[in-house]
Structure 1
Amino acid sequence: MTIGENLTEFGGLPVRDFDSTKGIEDPAGISYRVRLDWDDYDKGVKFAEVLAKFLGDPKLGEVKSFVIGAWAPESDSNSESIIRAIVEAQDKLQGLEHLFFGDITFEEQEISWILQSDISPLFGALPNLRTLRVRGADGLKLTPLPHAHLREFALESGGLPSDVIRAALACEFPELEHLELWLGDDGYGWDGNVKLFDDLLAGKLFPKLKYLGLRDSMIADDIAEAIAAAPILERIEVLDLSMGTLGDKGVEALTQSPQIGKLKKLDIHHHYASTEKTQALAAAVNELDAGDPEEPDVDDGEEYRYVAVAE
């Protein structure tokens, strides 16, 4: 699987590319996306100039949802200057509730090539943010900090470093309902293990959490086994282990969990489990998405499973 399409909806609003010749026309009804396409690149348009026009628009203070798309064709251009520009415009962004940082398809830039930076300043600059989704983990940094209103936090990557995961789990988000981490492959930045999630699975973090997504993981079986016996199942409504390498071992552990039936939904799509095991799991849960079954590659008797998003 690759990310082949840009967002069409975000923050409950349709996404439209920002046209700097028209400005912000419908701040309450559109989630504006600032990006450069290939024609812009060829014409020499600078992302910083388009972003400056957006952030300087007189209607910026009315914008509720904002999407940052592709900002540079060169792989050595990170997000630091973009974050700095947002922070400098923070007085006019106090009403912003939803931010997607990195709506970039594989044709624009592979997820492992997206260069991020320290996103920590966004939390202080945007105190009314409800949703923050960030795509790309190369260069990504995060300092543990509080945010009073954040409800959805997602880090999409082909390989999420353990230091970023530790920082995310150490943040104080009392209103957080949706936590989504794409863990990825060890060839693209993942360097952790299931012990990273001990406190999370013990139910010690994020008291209002309803959705937990530990997605795109090459250790999906280990995570499933840990979750099957974990207190977190007592209070979340949706568990998302999709896009990873989940197989019979992990599915069987979930099926045998006495708490699994309390979930409203379990998502394991893109998995490597047998039909027999997924049917047994379906009988144990209220709703199961077990679509996109995969077959492992076999070479010299060794099985190889792959996450959905890596490079």
Structure 2
Amino acid sequence: MSHVEHLQELHGLAAFDFPKPGAGQDLPEAGAVAWRLSVNPYDDDSKEGFGELWDRFLDTVDPSGVRALVVGQWDEPYENDSGMIVRRLVDAKDRLTGLRALFIGDLEMEEAEISWIEQSDVTPVLDAFPLLEELGVRGGTGLRFPAVRHERLRTLSFEAGGLPGEVVRGVAASELPALEYLEMWLGVAEYGGDATVADLAPILGGGRFPALHHLGLRNSEIQDEIAAAVASAPVVAQLRSLDLSLGVLTDEGLAALLDGQPLTHLTWLDLHHNFVTEPVADRARAALEPAGVEVDLSKTGHEDEWEDDGVVHRFTAVAE
């Protein structure tokens, strides 16, 4: 099963595809669903571009009642970045007064590989929507996130085959006092994922985001280094859940995590897709599960490793 799939829900609302022109489909109330807006540039039966779709959506659905928006394919994503999406959202801020959740880049592999999705600076939507509570972005190419302050944002997530270190540093320097859930797919250097453990230091140090209770540092080729840093990170004490899945976690990283500060206050620890041997996995389960911690060590990544001239190569779950 792919780790990159269309969203099924956002903000607790089921995703609903805004229909094509002339579909004659009954529409739900504006605030009852998460509206997915997407065009297929290769569809010979529809010549509607995203601009036309956007205008039709705002004229058809009561925009003031819209609570959640999922932006899918807006064009050929490897040629046109999300700047046009950001501009349209900002321009409509006085109409989308009820917007509380936004996801930009809801594309599956069949539409575009995750690292082909051209993103942009997405922070103008935070300035435009001071009541926004959730922001998610898929794709790291061209993505920018300079440091911002936002009083109401509770969930921030980035899914990428390579998340730029500049973005991680921007998040780490931001003032987000309400942030409860932070997830970053750090990815691999080959696709722009050049963030280091040092870039994560302000987040791991605790206090930066006082309301944070979930931290996901996922899909990384330096997962062992991250696990070792998390082992002594002050932020762990305030967490209820920790996610280090989808990356290249080995016995070395998991042992460092287990040898660090206590993790028994967590409700769950997600380590699925890993390169951990069964004895070390058993040690983790024995240390944490009796305390009530749900530990996910499923779906090992051993199918994503190979040996060449005595060198073992391992891969994250998501890259290109």
Scaled by the length of structure 1, what TM-score is found? 0.95
Percent pairwise identity: 39
Equivalent residue for 1:72? 75
Q: Alignment length, in residue pairs?
A: 311
Question: Is the 2:172–2:199 contact (alpha carbons within 8 Å) kept by the matching residues of 1?
Answer: no
Deviates more, 1:251-260 or 1:15-24: 15-24
Deviates more, 1:55-64 or 1:267-276: 55-64
Q: Deviations over 1:125-148 (max 9, x none)?
A: 111111100001111112211111
Q: Deviations over 1:36-68 (max 9, x none)?
A: 136636632211110121133451100111100
Equivalent residue for 1:291? 298
Equivalent residue for 2:88? 85
The residue type equivalent to 2:284 in the other structure is L
Secondary structure (helix, strand or coil) at the match of 1:172 reads coil
Q: How many angstroms apart in 1 are the aligned matches of 2:107 and 2:61?
A: 27
Q: How many angstroms apart in 2 are the aligned matches of 1:41 and 1:228?
A: 54
Deviates more, 1:68-77 or 1:114-123: 68-77
The residue type equivalent to 2:296 in the other structure is D
Quote the offset at 1:98 in angstroms: 0.9
Matches within 5 A, 1:2-17: 2-3=2-3, 5-17=5-17
Equivalent residue for 1:254? 257
Equivalent residue for 1:172? 175
Equivalent residue for 2:151? 148
Q: How many angstroms apart in 2 are the aligned matches of 1:41 and 1:77?
A: 20
Question: Is the 1:233–1:259 contact (alpha carbons within 8 Å) kept by the matching residues of 2?
Answer: no
Question: Is the 2:77–2:116 contact (alpha carbons within 8 Å) kept by the matching residues of 1?
Answer: no
Secondary structure (helix, strand or coil) at the match of 2:264 reads helix
* Shift >6 Å, 4+ stretches: none
Question: Is the 2:4–2:109 contact (alpha carbons within 8 Å) kept by the matching residues of 1?
Answer: yes
RMSD (Å), alpha carbons: 1.6
The residue type equivalent to 1:299 in the other structure is D
Q: How many angstroms apart in 1 are the aligned matches of 2:4 and 2:234?
A: 37
Q: How many angstroms apart in 2 are the aligned matches of 1:58 and 1:160?
A: 34
Equivalent residue for 1:129? 132
Q: How many angstroms apart in 2 are the aligned matches of 1:87 and 1:23?
A: 28
Q: Deviations over 1:175-202 (max 9, x none)?
A: 0000000000111001122111112111
Matches within 5 A, 1:107-256: 107-256=110-259
Question: Is the 1:254–1:281 contact (alpha carbons within 8 Å) kept by the matching residues of 2?
Answer: no
Is 1:36 matched up with 2:28?
no
Scaled by the length of structure 2, what TM-score is found? 0.93
Q: 1:310 to 1:299 in 2, by over 3 A?
A: same
Q: 1:132 to 1:4 in 2, by over 3 A?
A: closer
The residue type equivalent to 1:76 in the other structure is E
Q: Say which of 257, 271, 275 aligns to 1:272.
A: 275
Q: Deviations over 1:258-304 (max 9, x none)?
A: 32222111100000000110110112221101110122311111011
Which structure 2 segments of 5+ residues have no match? none
